[in-house]
Each structure stands twice: as structure tokens, then as C-alpha cells.
Structure 1
């Protein structure tokens, strides 16, 4: 009851806070019109671009790698900075197209903003559909000569705005950003790089696994998008029916007890749960896989970056076109949909699909 009351209060206060925040931070010291030619950035004057990816979403950062590469390929001398946090930072840790990574910490926007302001970025690109107050503050403090945002035509803080189509893949939105930077017909593949330490560590793991590696990632960010124990066992047994397959589980350490319990029930020497040290280890072991089964879009995008065939399980779209916008965007991936329809006030169950659909 207390949680419900608190949620109601927060829902009431949120638009008020956002309106106050907008009055404080939706402003810009100068428009720097010399950096804008028509409805695009005059790239002849640009020496640096900062991308704001402070949400910590791994899958989004994987897709973002196409932006960094395409900008650098077209403008090799431009400095590229990225604001990131959490495990998403590791996705670009060894990316040669990124020159500077800034660690985002909520509540420390003033310190980060002042640091970035001193580096005098020409262009700042934000990806937020809805800006929170702390994000407005950071963008303002960064002091970019040209600020670019999503559907921000009416904002004073932004100089240029781009669109997102909700009936097209998210890469279409990134094409719109690149178009503002005078880049047409970009290559939209994603890339994740590792160093020799990661590669060697994962190679040692893989060498101890006999058979074709089939990765099962049972968990997503939400419990409603994660496989339950019954479905995990059902999928696992299907994978193990083929004697050449080795089943490899990936999942956060918090899931270790559950995974080990499932492994005990499977009673097979062809089931493995390797100790991986981070998202780059996950990406590297995915590169060794024959096939992947997952309900998690982060793993989908990582798998696509490594050109690995997979079955990606989604809930039925309920007007948001999530499976289109955040879909695999790869012919190697088979999309499977749960048949469950969410009741009012509840979430759909992703486990309502037939494992015969899996392309294993």
C-alpha cells in the first residue's frame, strides 16, 4: 500500500518537476548560427562531437557504435566523446572510433558538465525521448555550440531536431542523426571490440567445451520478459536432443543458484555455466556460438554484431511496435512471439510460445 501511494505521488509530481526544470535549463547562451547551414550542421567547422548515452542501456550502446564509426570514417579528424555509465561503457571501451569516454553519475551533473564545457565540444547529440531535469542540466552545462535532440523543435536548448519513426527500425533514427551531420547512406552494422586479455580468457573457457556452442540467455531486464524455470528446462532439453550441441548458459551472478539448480535437473555433461567477468566476456563467448536463444534485446544486438544465428523471443506488440523498432535487423535472426495478451493492469507472459518455433 505504501509503495502504491508513493507511486501515485511520484506520478503527480513528475510533470511539475519537469516543468520547473525546463524553465531553469531550457536556454542557451548563444545560437552559434555559423555552425548551421540550412537544416544541417556545417561540418566544415566541426572539430568535436559529444554523444550523450547516459541511460546505461547496453543494447542501445551496441547500436550506437554505427554512429561513431560512420562519423569517424567521414570525418577522421573529428574528436568523438561519449557520456556513458555502467556496463554500457565496456561496449565502447576498446572502440577505436571513440576518443573519450565520460563516466556519468546521477547527481554529479555539475562536475561532469563543467569538465566537458572546458573541452569546448562543437556538437552535442542527445537521444532522450523525455528529458529529466538532471539531463536538461547536463546538456545546458556542457556548453555545446550546436545541440541536437529527438523531437526538440520547440526547445530553446536545442538548435536542431531529428525524428524517430515508430514503424521502422531504430537504425532509421540514427540515419536521421547522421543526415544532420551530412552523412548519407551509412553502413548500419554494429561493432564490439575486445582486447587480448578478454579474448584469451574466453578462448580458455571455450576450449573446455566440447561440441557446438548453443547459448541460452533466459533472462531479460524485466521478470516479465524472462523465461520461467519450466520454459528454460523445455528449451534446454530441445537443445540437448542434438548430441553435437553443448548448452551454455549466460546470466548475471544473481541467477547463479537458479541456473545451477536447472543444470542439476538436466543431468548432462554437455551443459555449462562459465564464469564471465563482464559484458565483453559475454560478447566474446557469443562470437564462438553456433546459435543463441534469448528474450533479451541486449543479447540480440550483441549477437547481430557478431553475425550469429539466433531465435529472439518477444512479447506481442501492444501499439508500441517494440519488435520492429528494437528488432534484430538481421536475416540470421528468427523472431518468435509469445501468444499471451496482457490483461488490463498486468504484463503479458513471454513464456507462451511453442519451442518448436525455435530454429535450433
Structure 2
């Protein structure tokens, strides 16, 4: 009961804070008239700042298609990206990104960041948030870009250009394609890019040097929500299904906080299952790039596998809610060597999270 009351109170206060924040920051000095036609050319856009301060790794992977397609058409445009420490790893080697700014939640550091960005005088700022928090409103306001572009921002003074979701069901790349079309870039290639430097490869290459004749499987049982994590029983079922064929080895990946949990499983399958102690997501991405097959319920790993068109088994939830039924298409792998397996939790109560573990192992076995 106390938790429920606290949740209601927090939701009420959040709404109040957002209204006050909008009142404070939803304003823009020196608004320019937008010239019709090809937006980038006709409005002399020489620099673009992308805001990816949500920290989402999968979204950053998808965003790489925009960096490449803009640079392909306009190689002299400067591209900056605001990112968290974690998802900045995805683009640290990307030749289409000229500058990365690290976003931290601390208000003082956001103010310092906005000063640094304002000095750069970006022509266009593109934000991808569905809901803007107060600190994000402040950052956009103080970055002082000539034009601000955002999702569903028709009634905002702070934004000059608003874009909307495509009509009907769609894959997330179609939203990014729509933004590119708004900028005047048509017929975009919607594939993703990931790049590695020599240091990113060292640890994985060492792990794989004695496994040249093995089929490499990457199993990621974990996700951002515990309701999307594969339980121990199903992890074992997947491992045993993979190992029904000889000459296969499995790397179970997960954050270091999951290490002990993984090692408990690893010791059940000596020399067949490993836990690679990787330092960051880009090392993990390199391991995925060298693998033969990936199995995961987590869409960030799905999108990394998609960047390399790896054979993939992606596990998604299906229930009676609109959200999960939309997600299976919106965040789908979207290429032919990927298979979606669905966990059907049709009896879940309204307001509760469906369980990822209600999938049929026989469906995974068929793919394997």
C-alpha cells in the first residue's frame, strides 16, 4: 500500500515538475525562418548534434545508419553526439562521428556541457526523446542550435521542426528514415555500422585463438528488466540444445554483476561453456561479430547482431498489452538470418510484467 501511494505521489510530482520545466525552458531566441526544399542545403546546415542521452545501446547502434547516410551525402558536415559513458562506446571508433560529448545526470555538469556545446554553434540539434525531462529541456535550450528538431514537438516553442511516428505498425529504422527524408536525404541504406580498434580486439582474439574449428555461440540471457531475463532452467535447456551437436562452444555474456551467477552454470559444462570477462560493450560486439550464432532476449544485443547479419535467435514477449505486441515488430531484428521466438504470457494480469520464460524450447531446437 505504501509503495502504491508513493508511486501515485511521484507520478503527480513528475507531472508538476515537467510543467514547470516547460514553462522555464520552452522558449527560443532568434528563431529563423526555415527555407523550403532540401533542408540541409537550403538552410546552410554545416553541423548536426544528435542527442542520445538516454544511454540505450540498441538505439545508438541503429543511429549509426543516420551518421553514415548524412556523411555519404554531405561529407563535410560536422556530426556531434551527446551520449552516456555506456552507449558512447558504440560510436567511439565511428569515422562518421566527429565529436562525442558525455552526458551526466548532475545538473551542474549538464550546465557545463551546454556551455561547451553552445560555443560550437551547431546548426541543427536532433532529439529522439518521447518525453523530455526538465534537465533535457534545459540542455536543449542552452545548446543554442540554430534549429531544434524533436519527436511530436508541434506545440513547443523550443523546437523548430517536429517529426512524428510513421502511421501503422513499423520497424524503428523507418522512423530514422523519415527523419533523413525530412533533412532531404532519400533512398537511405538502413543497415547499421560498428567499428573496432586494435585494443577492442585483443581480448576476444586471444579467447578464440584455439577455437578455430569450433562453432561459436553467444548466449545472452540477461536484459535491462528482470522480467526479460532467461531463468536458470531455460538457460540450461538452451545450452543443452546447442550442445546436442559436437564441435560447439558457448560464451555466456553479461555484465560483471552477473559473473557469479554465470559461473555457477559454466561449471556444469566444463570446456563447453565459458564466461568471457569483457570490459565493455564494444568488446562484446566484437565477440558477436566473430560468432556463428547469437541467442538473446535483449534488443541491444539483437541490434549488434543485426549490424553483422549474424544468425540470431531473438526471444520476445507477447501478451495482451499493446506495448509488447508492438515491440516485437518495432524492435525486430529485421533481416533474413534472424528468427524471433515468442514467449506467450496471455494470462498476465493488467499492470504486471509478462514473463520472458514462457517460450517453447522446441522452437529454439528447430532453429539450432
State TM-score, norm by structure 1. Answer: 0.96
CA RMSD of superposed structures (Å): 1.5
Whether 2:356 is the aligned partner of 1:353: answer: no
Unpaired runs of at least 5, structure 2: none
Give the one of 287, 290, 296 matched to 2:289: 287
Cα distance, 1:41 vs. partner?
A: 4.7
Cα distance, 1:278 vs. partner?
A: 0.7
**Conserved in 2, the CA contact under 8 Å of 1:47 and 1:79?**
yes
Q: How does 1:91-102 map to 2 (within 5 A)?
A: 91-102=90-101
Whether 2:170 is the aligned partner of 1:171: answer: no
> Cα gap change, 1:196/1:310 in structure 2, threshold over 3 Å: closer, same or farther?
same
Q: Which residue of 2 aligns with 1:188?
A: 190
Task: Return the alpha-carbon distance in structure 2 between the equivalents of residues 245 and 4 of structure 1.
Answer: 48
Q: Which runs of 4+ in 1 moved over 3 A?
A: 1-5, 38-44
**Conserved in 1, the CA contact under 8 Å of 2:38 and 2:183?**
no
Task: Return the alpha-carbon distance in structure 1 between the equivalents of residues 304 and 210 of structure 2.
Answer: 23
Cα distance, 1:201 vs. partner?
A: 2.5
Task: Return the alpha-carbon distance in structure 1 between the equivalents of residues 96 and 35 of structure 2.
Answer: 24
Q: How does 1:1-360 map to 2 (within 5 A)?
A: 2-33=2-33, 35-37=34-36, 40-43=39-42, 45-106=44-105, 107=107, 108-165=109-166, 167-209=169-211, 211-265=214-268, 267-316=269-318, 318-320=321-323, 321-341=326-346, 342-358=348-364, 359-360=367-368
> Cα gap change, 1:43/1:213 in structure 2, threshold over 3 Å: closer, same or farther?
farther
Q: Residue 70 of structure 2 aligns to a residue in which SS?
A: helix
Q: Residue 266 of structure 2 aligns to a residue in which SS?
A: helix
Unpaired runs of at least 5, structure 1: none
**Deviating more after overlay: 207-216 vs 235-244:** 207-216
Q: How many corresponding residue pairs?
A: 358
Cα distance, 1:39 vs. partner?
A: 8.8
Task: Return the alpha-carbon distance in structure 1 between the equivalents of residues 41 and 247 of structure 2.
Answer: 56
Task: Return the alpha-carbon distance in structure 2 between the equivalents of residues 9 and 339 of structure 1.
Answer: 33
State TM-score, norm by structure 2. Answer: 0.94
> Cα gap change, 1:45/1:139 in structure 2, threshold over 3 Å: closer, same or farther?
same
Task: Return the alpha-carbon distance in structure 1 between the equivalents of residues 222 and 27 of structure 2.
Answer: 42
**Conserved in 1, the CA contact under 8 Å of 2:35 and 2:43?**
no
> Cα gap change, 1:336/1:292 in structure 2, threshold over 3 Å: closer, same or farther?
same
Deviations 1:11-43 (A, max 9, x none): 11111111111111111002111x532694545
Q: Residue 45 of structure 1 aligns to a residue in which SS?
A: coil
Deviations 1:188-244 (A, max 9, x none): 000111101112321111113361101110001100000001010111111111112
